[in-house]
Amino acid sequence: MIPARINLPVRILELMRNLSSINELELYLHSILSVAAESTNSASASLLEYDEVTKDFYFKSMLWFQGDQVRSAHVPVQGSVAGAVFLYNKPVAIDDVSKDNRHYKKIDELAGFVTKSILGVPVVYNEKTVAVLEVFNKKEKYTEEDIFIVEVLASLAGAALHNETLEKKIQATQEEARELEQLKNEFIAIASHELRTPLGLILGHATFLKELINSPDYEEQIDTIIRNATRLKEIIENLTRVDNYETGSALLHSTKASVSRIIEDVAISFNDMAKKKNITLKTETPPGQDLLVDIDGTKIAIVLSNILKNAIAFTNENGLVIMRAEQHPDYIKVSVQDNGIGIPAKDINHIFDRFYQVESHLTRKHGGMGLGLSVSKVMIEMHGGRIWAESEEGTGSVFSFLLPVRKTQPLPQTPFKS
């Protein structure tokens, strides 16, 4: 026993070192109990954890008990040393338990053990007693030094128990997040499916009515219905696009397509929107080059439209938006540059997240649901490409993406300035 005392600082340091990397809590607590028993010359030791539900103690760890009777036994707060320690939050040392009715004798009967003396100290974490560490049957009396040693070990046990509680909470939260994610996906899938049919009917009938009435008196009202129903349809399509990709059901229909051509087509479709704000919309593609690559042209056009729509929406009147494309040996780089309001540095890493918008939803001046960029990211990544944004608040933004020429070719990792 004496050599164990001599090694005590080393063993405590070892326990402290291992605290941050406990793989098996049971083994760790067992080591604490071994050190507690050896260093106080005690015959044994145990750790009783307080159960918030049953309002009594159970054996979290023990040195010598065998058999499940003791493992599953509960110790009451009233009429036990553990209870006295717990209630007064102070160490209790009893040199002769036969003369003290605080000892709970049932455990001795179950374990076939004769307890003669006990030292119990509270295991405290965040100012709350969560368990009691006990050592038993020292030949001599328990001393102040024994109390100090067991208190140090109890604080390590407290930290280990706290880690376990945190670990359980993290796991429960992750599980909850997974369930919520699944619920959200199911909700999106069901809601968009259910909305699509009535919306299709509204659009179809409104178009039919427009042709039927063919009168300038009602044109504005019917156009408003058609425009807004079309907008709703776009929102639903965006929702299902991200969802399809995440559930793995989205497919690429790749053919050789000209990126230069897609850029020109998308630019033409946004000419009116740009003109309304007197924004100059330019395209810069290498002259005489089609920039042919195997892509799903429809999806790349959607990506470019989402980016260009934002560039025009977030650029003030008389601004400038330039769409560029460049051929590199392994990839084609496309970028959209604007001299608009820019994006604050704190938001730039989030704008590709689903439903993320820089302005608060309540105060924002622009429409949208924060889906356009997440859809775009999904689509570019389906192509094995990469998309990113660079921006300076008040100066403007550049959104760029790379499309690999060969699917197996790794793309450069660091975004480079346009």
* Minimum CB–partner distance for residue 352 and ligand ADP (Å): 7
Binning the chain into helix, strand and coil, the percentages to the nearest 5 are: 50, 20, 30
User: Binding ligand ADP by CB under 6 A: which of 91, 340, 385, 404?
Assistant: 340
Min dist CB 249 to ligand ADP, Å, is: 22
Q: Is 296 in the site for ligand ADP (CB under 6 A)?
A: no
Question: Which residues on neighbouring strands pair with residue 320, listed in sequence order?
Answer: 280
| Subset of 349-408 contacting ligand ADP (CB under 6 A) | 351, 356-359, 368-374, 397
CB nearer to ligand ADP: pick between 46 and 397: 397
Q: Is 235 a residue that touches ligand ADP (CB under 6 A)?
A: no
DSSP symbols for 308-360: HHHHHHTS-TT-EEEEEEEE-SSEEEEEEEE-SS---HHHHTTTTSTT--SS-
Closer CB to ligand ADP, residue 46 or residue 310? 310
Smallest distance from ligand ADP to CB 353, Å: 8
Q: How far is the CB of 303 from ligand ADP (least distance, A)?
A: 11
Q: Among residues 66, 50, 13, 12, which one has the least CA distance to residue 34?
A: 12
The reply on whether position 338 binds ligand ADP by CB under 6 A is: yes
Single out the segment in contact with ligand ADP by CB under 6 A; choices: 134-142, 177-185, 260-268, 310-318: 310-318
Question: Shortest distance, CB of residue 347 to ligand ADP, whole angstroms?
Answer: 7
- List own/partner pairs for 25-31 with CB under 8 A and 24 or more apart: 25/160, 25/161, 25/163, 25/164, 26/61, 28/160, 29/60, 29/61, 29/157, 29/160, 30/61, 30/63
What are residue 51's DSSP bridge partners? 56
| Residue nearest ligand ADP (C-beta atom) | 368
Residue 232 Cβ vs ligand ADP, minimum distance, rounded to whole Å: 14
Task: Map residue 107 onto helix, strand or coil.
Answer: helix
Assign 280 to helix, strand or coil. strand
- In angstroms, what is the minimal distance from the CB of 385 to ligand ADP? 17
Task: Specify the residue, 4 or 369, whose C-beta has the smaller distance to ligand ADP.
Answer: 369
> Out of 258, 260, 306, 400, which residue is the one contacting ligand ADP (CB under 6 A)?
306
Q: Does 310 bind ligand ADP (CB under 6 A)?
A: yes
> Which three-class secondary structure state does DSSP give residue 417?
coil
Pairing of strands 56-62, 74-75: antiparallel
Beta-bridged to residue 62, according to DSSP, are: 46
Nearer to ligand ADP, 179 or 392 (CB): 392
- Compare residues 61 and 238 and give the one whose CB is closer to ligand ADP: 238
Contact 120, 26 (CB under 8 A): no
Asked if 46 and 137 count as a contact pair (C-beta separation under 8 A), the reply is no
| Nearest-10 crossing angle of helices 8-19, 25-39 | 160
| 311 lines the binding site for ligand ADP (CB under 6 A) | yes
Nearest-approach distance from CB 373 to ligand ADP, in angstroms: 3
Give the interface size with ligand ADP as a residue count (CB under 6 A): 22
Nearest approach in angstroms of CB 230 to ligand ADP is 15
Torsion, CA 76, CA 81, CA 83, CA 86, rounded to 10: -150
Name the one range near ligand ADP by CB under 6 A: 53-61, 139-147, 303-311, 408-416.
303-311
Nearer to ligand ADP, 147 or 398 (CB): 398
Q: Which residues bind ligand ADP (CB under 6 A)?
A: 306, 310-311, 314, 338, 340-343, 351, 356-359, 368-374, 397
